[in-house]
Chains A and B, each alone.
Chain A
Amino acid sequence: MPLNITGELVSININRYKCGYCGACVGVCPKGALELVETWVEVDENTCITCGICDRICPVGAIEVMK
C-alpha cells in the first residue's frame, strides 16, 4: 500500500515533490475526486473508487493507487 506524507497507509497517494500540478489526473478522474488547488492536488478519498486511471495517466508517475 502507498504511504502518505505522514507515513499512514492510504489507497491513493500523490507525491507532491514529483507532481508538476498539470491537472491531467483531475481531467481524467471519472468521479471528480481530485482537485488542483494552486500547486497541489487534493483527493477526496470518500469519492475515489481507486480505479487507477489517474495513476496511469500522470506524465511523471506522481500518483500511486492501490486497488
Chain B
Amino acid sequence: MKDMYEVLVIGAGPAGSIAAKVAAENGLDVLLIEKRQEIGDPVRCAEGVNKEYLKKHVEIDKRWICADLKGSCIYSPDGTKIEMAEEIAGGEVGYVLERKVFDRALAEQAAKAGAEVRVKTRATGLIIEDDFVKGARLMHLGKEYDVRARIVIGADGVESKVGRWAGIDTSLKPIDIETCVQYLIAGADINQEYCEFYIGSETAPGGYIWIFPKGEGKANVGIGMLGSEMGKFKPRPVDYLNSFIEKRFPDASIVEMVFGESRSQAALRKLQLTALCSWEMLHANPIQSQAVGFLML
C-alpha cells in the first residue's frame, strides 16, 4: 500500500468495485479497500437483479447466475395468485445471482483494470484539511495507515460512515429501510423459473416474503419489513420468516442465514444528493424496482 493515490474507494461491494474499475480504466491510480476478509461474504442480498440493468453496467458471466427467471408470482393474503410473465412485467424479472461469486468477480475486474485491492482494511476516519477531504485513515491487521487521495469515494453500504465523517448525516430513519432476514434453503421442491412474493399483514406486516430460486432444490427465502413497523415488543422479521418456512417448507434444511437492511427510494435519493455510491441505485429486485440509474461517475 502506498501513501498516496489519485482515487481511494472505501468498500468493495458492487458499487465500490465498479467505481474502482471505471476509474482505473480511465488511467487513474486507484486503491480499493474492503474491511471484510472475504469480498462478498457474508452475503446481504436476495440476489435478484433486473437483467436489463445488469447488462447495461457489466458484461454478464454465466458463472454468477443461479437461475434465469421466466416471471414472478405474487400471492395475496387470501391465496389469490397474480402471475407476471417476463414480457408483461416489462423485463422486471431477472436473474438470481451468486453474489459471493459476483462481488468477487467485480473486485477482480477492478484489479485487472489496474486498481490495487486490499481486504481486511478498514477506514477509521477521513483526513480533512482546509475543509477538503484529503484521504483516509486505514486500519490493516491492527496497524494504522494514513493514505492520501485526490478523490475519496464512500461506497461503504448500509453501515456507511464515510459520509458522516465528511459532515453529511447519512443515518437512516426506520421508515427509510426494510430490515431483512433470509435463509438459503436446500432440499425443497421449488419452481426454479419463477420467483414468488407473499404479501399481507399476517405474513409480513409492512413488507413481504420472497422466494428466489437458486437452482437444484435451493432457494433464497426471505422477509423484508418496513423499519417503522417494528417495535421492541413486536415479533421480529425472523419470527415471521420462521413461521412461514415451517408451513411452506417443513422438510427443507437451512444452509445459510442472511440478515440485513435494504434502503428505500427516499433514502437513496438522499444518498444520491451526497454523491455516495450505492449498488441499489443501479439495480433493484423485481418487486421493488428501486433502480435509479448509473450514478457512479
CB distance from A65 to the nearest CB of B (A): 8
- Considering the complex, which residues of chain B in the window 163-188 have a beta carbon less than 8 Å from any beta carbon of chain A? 164, 171-174, 177, 179-181
Contacts of A52 in B (CB 8 A): 232
B146 part of interface (Cβ distance < 8 Å):
no
B35 part of interface (Cβ distance < 8 Å):
yes
Q: How many residues of B contact A (CB 8 A)?
A: 34
Known A27-B177, A28-B227; judge A59-B161 contact (CB<8 A).
no
Q: How many residues of A contact B (CB 8 A)?
A: 24
Q: Looking across the interface, which residue of chain B has its beta carbon closest to that of A37? A: B122
Complexed CA–CA distance, A46 and B187 (Å): 48
CB distance from B162 to the nearest CB of A (A): 11
Inter-subunit contact A23/B230 (CB<8 Å): no
Residue interface bits A23-67, CB-to-B below 8 A is 1, else 0: 110111110100111100000000000001101111111000000
Which of B47-55, B75-83, B152-160 forms contacts with chain A?
B152-160
Contacts of A60 in B (CB 8 A): 181, 236-238, 259
Inter-subunit contact B158/A24 (CB<8 Å): yes
CB distance from A41 to the nearest CB of B (A): 9
Majority SS at the chain A contact face = loop
Q: Looking across the interface, which residue of chain A has its beta carbon closest to that of B124? A: A35
CB distance from B275 to the nearest CB of A (A): 18
Complexed CA–CA distance, A40 and B215 (Å): 32
Contacts of B172 in A (CB 8 A): 27-28
Inter-subunit contact A59/B42 (CB<8 Å): no
A20 part of interface (Cβ distance < 8 Å):
yes
Of the candidates B122, B181, B261, the one whose C-beta lies within 8 Å of that of A57 is: B261
Complexed CA–CA distance, A53 and B157 (Å): 19
Complexed CA–CA distance, A52 and B227 (Å): 13
Inter-subunit contact B174/A53 (CB<8 Å): yes
Complexed CA–CA distance, A19 and B157 (Å): 18
Known A32-B171, A58-B179, A60-B181; judge A27-B158 contact (CB<8 A).
yes
CB distance from B148 to the nearest CB of A (A): 23
Complexed CA–CA distance, A11 and B179 (Å): 23
Contacts of B160 in A (CB 8 A): 27
CB distance from B116 to the nearest CB of A (A): 21
Complexed CA–CA distance, A60 and B237 (Å): 7
Known A28-B172, A30-B171; judge A59-B236 contact (CB<8 A).
yes
Contacts of A21 in B (CB 8 A): 42, 259
Of the candidates B37, B171, B179, B263, the one whose C-beta lies within 8 Å of that of A38 is: B37
Complexed CA–CA distance, A28 and B227 (Å): 10
13 additional A-B residue pairs with CB within 8 Å, beyond A24-B158, A28-B261, A59-B237 = A20-B257, A23-B157, A27-B172, A28-B171, A28-B172, A29-B171, A32-B171, A38-B122, A56-B230, A57-B174, A57-B230, A57-B261, A60-B238
Pull 6 A–B residue pairs with CB atoms less than 8 Å apart, ordered by A: A20-B259, A21-B42, A21-B259, A22-B260, A57-B179, A59-B181
- A residues near B (Cβ < 8 Å) are 20-24, 26-30, 32, 35-38, 52-53, 55-61
